[in-house]
Structure 1
Amino acid sequence: MQKENRNIKTEFLDELDRHQGILQKICFVYSKKSLEKEDLCQEIILQLWKSYPSFKRESAFSTWMYRVALNTALSLTKKKQLFIRSEEIHESSFDMEYSMNLTEDIKVLYKAISQLNKVEKAIILLWLEDKSYKEIADIIGMSIKNISVRLVRIKAKLKDLINKYQ
């Protein structure tokens, strides 16, 4: 039994390590301060670990990880304003710590994404990860048509925000 638990733990840690970028992106766009990012990251990892035994492998690990991570981020940001709201983010509060190694264009993109609402952030992050509309719909819990319409609107909103920042 102990050997089996060790294998599950190793398997989980390997998958988590392989998909670390998902965790970083979600923490980056759903929180602004370093401590908030760390707290959110830890909470997502905890929820992933608690949920891992129920992972049925009907989808890719990354798809399942996005679903758990986004649900965790969305539920935490609903609770008593643990994280600042997008509308309250000021130019100077944009945390450049994460984006130091990114190109200027990518920094502007992430800054624009940080201004979107919670669901829009989730949809655009999944789209940027080359998830299909079906995968995005499954993760978010919307119809494919709704995802398609929202993506058109999100892209237009991002275009306006990016033009504003450049």
Structure 2
Amino acid sequence: MNQNELEQQFVALVDDHKQMIYKVCLMYASDDEGISDLFQEVALNLWKAFPRFRGVCKTSTWVYRISVNTCISHLRHQGTQPLTVPLTMSMTDLFPDESEREQLRELYQLINRLGELERALILLWLDDRSYEEIAEMLDISVSNVGVRINRIKAKLKQMSNN
């Protein structure tokens, strides 16, 4: 595979998974600039790892894991400046309706108060992932996914009422 084909496949991969990547970044950053920086850092890490991706797991699983690991690593090294690639993404591009953006911000503020596994579970559920996919991505049983998601939804409802 030549470099041009590799780049085209990579751009398609990022485009196919941009909302999931964005949602993961939203979980770890509080403003548009921070989200954009994290998105670019995830894209860079995906690009570095892309030639080694063998398809052993689903592409979405691979992208999700790199996204979460990049964001967690970024939090650990917050003082360092991330490298950037020419890839921009804004909340306005993904969610043009202002009221939808505001509801999403409020939801994510509540979600950010959850534990790390709870955040990952609800993020994947909100991304319309099946319980089987979530179980595979997080290495837990399918029945555990269902139980935890129900508990998280109840917890979020209680938090929103307070």
TM-score range, shorter chain: 0.7 to 0.9
Tell me which residue corresponds to 1:11: 9
Tell me which residue corresponds to 2:82: none
Tell me which residue corresponds to 2:48: 50
Tell me which residue corresponds to 1:101: 98
1:125 Cα deviation after fit = 1.0
1:42 Cα deviation after fit = 1.9
1:117 Cα deviation after fit = 2.2
Q: Name the SS of the counterpart of 1:116 in structure 2.
A: coil
In the aligned structure 1, how far is the partner of 2:72 from the partner of 2:132? 20
Is the deviation greater in 14-23 or in 32-41?
A: 32-41
Q: Structure 2 regions of 5+ residues with no counterpart?
A: 80-90
Q: Name the SS of the counterpart of 1:110 in structure 2.
A: helix
Amino acid at match of 1:101: E
Q: Name the SS of the counterpart of 2:114 in structure 1.
A: coil
CA gap of 1:16–1:43, structure 2 versus 1, over 3 A, is same
In the aligned structure 2, how far is the partner of 1:75 from the partner of 1:137? 23
CA offset digits 1:30-57 (Å, max 9, x no partner): 1113343233212211111122122223
Match of 1:127 among 118, 125, 133: 125
Tell me which residue corresponds to 1:161: 159
1:9 Cα deviation after fit = 0.9
RMSD: 2.5
1:62 Cα deviation after fit = 2.6
In the aligned structure 2, how far is the partner of 1:118 from the partner of 1:48? 22
Q: Name the SS of the counterpart of 1:157 in structure 2.
A: helix
TM-score (normalised: structure 2): 0.75
In the aligned structure 1, how far is the partner of 2:139 from the partner of 2:99? 31
Amino acid at match of 1:47: N
Identical columns (%): 37
Tell me which residue corresponds to 1:89: none
Q: Is the 8 A contact 1:74 1:118 kept in 2?
A: no
CA gap of 1:74–1:140, structure 2 versus 1, over 3 A, is farther
Count of paired positions:
147
Amino acid at match of 2:121: I
1:122 Cα deviation after fit = 1.2
Q: Structure 1 regions of 5+ residues with no counterpart?
A: 84-96
TM-score (normalised: structure 1): 0.74
Which runs of structure 1 show a deviation greater than 4 angstroms over 4 or more consecutive aligned residues? Answer: 97-100
1:145 Cα deviation after fit = 3.3
Q: Is the 8 A contact 1:26 1:70 kept in 2?
A: yes
Tell me which residue corresponds to 1:39: 37
CA offset digits 1:43-91 (Å, max 9, x no partner): 21111112212222344433321121122223333x15x39xxxxxxxx
1:139 Cα deviation after fit = 1.1
In the aligned structure 1, how far is the partner of 2:18 from the partner of 2:72? 19
